[in-house]
Amino acid sequence: MEELARRIETANRSYYAASADQQLSDPGQDGMSDAEYDALFDELKRLEERFPQVAAAIFTADRPSPTQQVGYRPLTEESGLLEHATPMLSLANTYDPQELAQFDTRVRKLISAAPASPDVQKPIEYVAELKYDGVAVSLHYQDGKLVRALSRGDGRVGEDITGKVKRLTGGVPMRVDVSSLPTKNFEVRGELVMSKEQFASLNAAQREVGEREYSNPRNLVAGVLNRKQDTDLGLRKKPFNLICYTLMSLSDEGEAGLPPSHQARLEWLDRRGFTVDSRATLCGDLASMVKFVGEWDNTELRDAFPYLIDGVVVKVNAIAQQQALGANNRAPKWAVAYKFGASKAVTQLLDIVYQVGRSGKVTPVAELHPVHLMGSLISRATLHNTAYVEHLALKKGNMVTVEKAADVIPKVSGVVAMNDNNDNGGVDELTKAPRCPCERRVALVREDIDLHCREPSCPEVAVAKIVHFASKQAMDIEGLGEGLVRDLFRQGLLRSAVDIYSLLDDDDNDAGDVSKRAALGERKGWGEKKIANLLRSVEQSRHSRDLSSFLFALGIPHLGKHTAQLLADHFKSFESLMAATEEDLRGMHGVGDIISSSVAHFLHDPKNREDLQRLYAICKPKENTERSRARAARANGEEKPPTCSVSFTGTLSGMARHEASAAAVSALGAVVKPSVTRGLTMLVCGDKPSPAKVKKARELGVEIVSEEQFRALLLRQRQSPEPPQ
């Protein structure tokens, strides 16, 4: 379970939180197809249901299971996080048309059991819309004026992206005439997308200046929104468009002031200048729903469409029926997303090359004769590992099938025609006696089905480590992508992460060699403004990143972002962590033996220690403001003991379990307990609470409150901070 959760969390970070510089086409990175992601997610959910005791031991309030979360919470404190008026949930997915019938059956069963009401107990209709492959955003209008735009974030809390949406997005009215409308304040949700034409123009510009191309429009949109600095994409007009799919009231009168059906709300938006899916179709029954899905489950039709689409969303049309159906903690019960299968094309395999990651893991990548597939020009595709290459018996010159699973990630899936030439072009050499692609050409080590380069001075590993250090989740140095790192490394100007900060030096070195800054100026397309932006980002990274980001940036084997946060919270300072032993690490909750051994070995290795001390002296990672205040209170003898203790049971609908726990600590000064014990102050009950916990709480005289009562208590406490009794 833990490995499945780690892979899903890594994919979530890659999907939701990578910047544009990290979204360049690179099939060896952490990207995975929707189908692969959904398979992992379903398997984790199945295991949790089958082995609840194991799941309870692995996942905690501080680290909830990915099956209980939506999206990915932005990690920067400076990003302007705001709570959604209504949670932005995900959608239940299916790849099987037969499951649409099961969805229809569930909807009809729930509606038949709902309270009698003429608005609910009426014929069920659906609206089928194309599922645009973009980034979900929320727009808030007050008195008809656009006042706020938020990203999805983790579904409960999003990032304020108002400025970027206004500057970069077409089809978003800044003001709507609401003089004759009962609803003056409303929220519009939609998918922020880039057309295939715009995307092709941008990649042509990238090629013109010798930069790597972006992987796909969706990743580019997400990357631009995640950049701290403003971004000039070099296009004449606003490059993004918003395809709106939801309208909700923010007024006191609620939904009564808006049209009573989803279809009517789409028409409402269309009349007021918003862009909606013009193909959206009202389906009176299951047969018409399946027909619409079947029409669009067609690669040729989707290839000709101006935007990338990866499925069809089916929604119950009547708003009253939607409200009666409700939602679970991840998705509404009145909608389902049918995902298209992989799109395919046939092309020639030109070569198989190796790509080396920062851990030394080596991934085979197919070099292909360029082929157009779902709006992208595909010239490279993942081959996963050498066992996969051997299984397909790949040879240079083979005609192969290339798929984009869920129309996003390209991979070679089969051989159509074999190369008749007995010379396989060195593929056997690559798979039987492989060597690292760096100039040292050292033999690779096979570990299970993966290959690793264990050469300490491997240039490919060094480049990958520098790129990781500068990445969004690490030190967040915008502009320092793989292409630039590789060029500076080749010139001997950048050999480790420490060297990044010598970019800030103004003068040439004493030996008269070209300076790093001068080398930047010699790159095609790099003017003074672009160099200044990069240097500003390098300088900002010295003052804006916290200890957990710094630890993650070091690239310690097996240390992910979550565990880096645990270490930062526990040890408080880098000096304390450097002084810790492996036994100290093993004693931490959530840090297993493998990670403990890896962290201790990395930090205590004499070969690493000098660079670590230099990096820490340069970067001086900051600490969370609340933790700094807490430490100051402890130092002054002002720290107060916990005022109460809280435990949770059941599924919370208004916030995730880890958010509720954090709120209990920060607002109430509480200690969060995993179970009901003597002395517990309060048991908060969500949906379907544990009968055993509730019974024990009653026996011990513990106060039992609902989620609504708990949220009201939090609100009162923030307004008048007196500890609960």
Pairing of strands 93-94, 409-417: unpaired
**465 with 522: CB under 8 angstroms?**
no
Burial class (CB in 10 A: 0-12, 13-18, 19+), 85: middle
Burial class (CB in 10 A: 0-12, 13-18, 19+), 492: exposed
Say which DSSP state 340 is in: P
Which alpha helices (H) appear in 676-725, and where do they start and end? Answer: 691-700, 707-719
Please give the single-letter amino acid code of residue 204.
Answer: A
How far, in Å, are 107, 150, 637 from residue 102 at the CA level? 9, 34, 61
Token couple for 150: 């938020």
531 φ/ψ angles, rounded to the nearest 5 degrees: -65, -45
Give the bridge partners for 94, in sequence order.
338
The count of other CB atoms within 10 Å of the CB of residue 363 is 19
Question: Euclidean distance between the first and final Cα of the chain, in Å?
Answer: 39
Dist. CA 139–CA 178, nearest whole Å:
16
The residue annotated as part of the active site, out of 45, 131, 238, 561, is 131
- DSSP character string of 612-668: HHHHHHHH--B--HHHHHHHHHHHTT-PPPP-EEEEEESB-SSS-HHHHHHHHHHHH
Dist. CA 144–CA 185, nearest whole Å:
7
Dist. CA 201–CA 113, nearest whole Å:
53
- DSSP character string of 30-97: S---HHHHHHHHHHHHHHHHH-HHHHHHH--SSS--GGG--S-----GGG-EEE-SS------EES-T
Q: What is the CA radius of gyration of the chain?
A: 27
Taking phi over 0 as left and psi of -120 to 50 as alpha, with beta for the rest, 555 belongs to left
How far, in Å, are 327, 328, 539, 623 from residue 687 at the CA level? 12, 9, 48, 36
* Buried/exposed code over 97-112 (b: 16+ C-beta within 10 A; e: otherwise): eeebeebbeebeebbe
**623 with 572: CB under 8 angstroms?**
yes
User: Does residue 344 have an active-site annotation?
Assistant: no
**274 with 188: CB under 8 angstroms?**
yes
Say which DSSP state 454 is in: -
Token couple for 532: 């200044």
Taking alpha carbons only, the member of 342, 366, 344, 353 closest to residue 416 is 344
Token couple for 667: 């607002």
The H-or-E segment that residue 245 falls in is strand 240-249
Q: What angle do CA 196, 200, 201 make, to 5 degrees?
A: 120
Burial class (CB in 10 A: 0-12, 13-18, 19+), 721: exposed
Dist. CA 360–CA 605, nearest whole Å:
18
Tell me the catalytic residues: 131
